[in-house]
Structure 1
Amino acid sequence: MDDEETVRNSELFIFKLAGIPAAAYSSAEEFLAKDDLTVPGCIILDLRMLEMSGLQLQRCLQEKGSDLPIIFLTGHGTVDAAVMALKNGAVDFLQKPAKPEKLLEVVKVHLQQNKELRLSKALIQEKINKFERLTDREKEVLREVATGKLNK
Structure 2
Amino acid sequence: MTPARAGMASGVANSFFPLGTAAAIAAFGTLFSGVFARRMSDAELVRTGVPAQQAEQLRAAVTAGRTEAVQALPPALAGRVGDLARATFAQALADVCVAASVVCALAVLVSLTLVRARDLRHAAAGDVPAPPPVAPSAPLTIRVEERRAAPRWRRHRR
Fold shared per TM-score above 0.5: no
Name the structure with the higher helix share.
2
* Higher-Rg member (1/2): 2
- If asked which structure has higher relative contact order (CA below 8 Å, sep 6+), I would say 2
